[in-house]
Structure 1
Amino acid sequence: MAATGQVFLLLGSNLGDRPQVLAAARESIARQAGSIDGQSAVYETAPWGITDQPAFLNQVLEISTSLLPEDLLRVILNIEHDLGRVRYERWGARVIDIDILYYGQTVMDSARLTLPHPRIQDRRFVLAPLTEIAPDFVHPLLQKTSASLLEQCPDTSAVSKIP
């Protein structure tokens, strides 16, 4: 399969040496999943869901990959594991979290993966870095750009670009 572009991933970390964890995740993604075509700045963001935990660092990457969506998910889960991710509490603190936001214009809903990510439009910590690198990317179901989704986002959580 030829490489597919406009695959967007969200990286997040709120435990350990957060900048180093994000750097290690980027290196692993470039080595195992595909080439990194673009990346947002790093943002410090308030936790989502369970708010009594440290702030997150978040970053969006745009990659090109020859992996099919579920194969990409498998690679991402392995990268998370290798970086020390332990899954024990939904929306809890974590060393690393990597979400597939979009796989081009692919729409799918399987037992393991839903594309596009079902909560993009509700999360400022996703939309701010996504809009930085892909303001005109159109959500395949909502038919709105990243920039317009950010404008309409109901989430008022703190999101600050790290200089």
Structure 2
Amino acid sequence: MSTRAFIGLGSNLDQPAEQLQSALQALDLMADTRLAAASAFYTSDSLLPGQPRYTNAVAAIDTTLAPLDLLDALQAIENDQGRVRKERWGPRTLDLDVLLFGDQVIDVPRLKVPHYHMHARPFVLYPLAELVPADFRLADGRVLQQLLQACPFVGLERL
């Protein structure tokens, strides 16, 4: 049985929109996984000053992979697209984050789901809202519409 998972995509190096397009194709080709939908692309300022703007999106996938196996597969896609892990918040060719994994709450050293900062990131919440019903609840009980109201559409530009 497959699980609906939501993946955050981000890039601010080496033609970010093309990086996201390639990542979406890779998600669709990933073993035991099917790309169900993708949001529009958005640009946003980096969380740290002095970095190029990011291009972000959210993808909905259906997968039979276990959560940590999915994380490993996502990191392999990042590596294939030239991701270099020098610093935690540094610029990157591609960042793929497991935002939600079905109705599971996951808290292990390598993976926190729902993603631990998504409630404060408009570049995650607004693309996610394109892919789910208006009354969507995260696995931890938070309501997406309430998170959107607390996280204004500031600094975002829909492409």
Q: CA deviation at 1:137?
A: 2.2
Q: CA deviation at 1:103?
A: 0.1
Q: CA deviation at 1:46?
A: 1.0
Aligned partners of 2:37 and 2:62: how far apart in 1? 10
In structure 1, the partner of 2:60 is 62
Q: CA deviation at 1:75?
A: 0.2
The range that moved more, 28-37 or 63-72, is 28-37
- Alpha carbons 1:46, 1:157 under 8 Å: kept: no
Q: CA deviation at 1:148?
A: 1.9
Structure 1 length as normaliser, TM-score? Answer: 0.91
Could you report, residue by residue, the CA deviation over 1:117-151 in whole angstroms, capped at 9, with x for unpaired residues? Answer: 1111111111111112224321122x232222111
Instruction: Give 1:151-162 correspondences, 5 Å limit.
Output: 151-153=149-151, 157-162=154-159
In structure 1, the partner of 2:144 is 146
Q: CA deviation at 1:3?
A: 1.3
- Alpha carbons 1:128, 1:159 under 8 Å: kept: no
Gaps of 5+ in 1: none
| Matched AA of 2:105 | V
In structure 1, the partner of 2:76 is 78
In structure 2, the partner of 1:44 is 43
Gaps of 5+ in 2: none
Instruction: Give 1:48-127 correspondences, 5 Å limit.
Output: 48=47, 50-127=48-125
Cα RMSD, aligned residues only: 1.4
Q: 1:89 to 1:157 in 2, by over 3 A?
A: farther
Structure 2 length as normaliser, TM-score? Answer: 0.93
In structure 1, the partner of 2:14 is 16
Could you report, residue by residue, the CA deviation over 1:9-31 in whole angstroms, capped at 9, with x for unpaired residues? Answer: 01001000112111110111111
The percentage of aligned residue pairs carrying the same residue is 37
SS in structure 2 opposite 1:100? strand
Aligned partners of 2:130 and 2:143: how far apart in 1? 12
SS in structure 2 opposite 1:133? coil
SS in structure 1 opposite 2:130? helix
- Alpha carbons 1:36, 1:62 under 8 Å: kept: yes
| Matched AA of 2:100 | Y
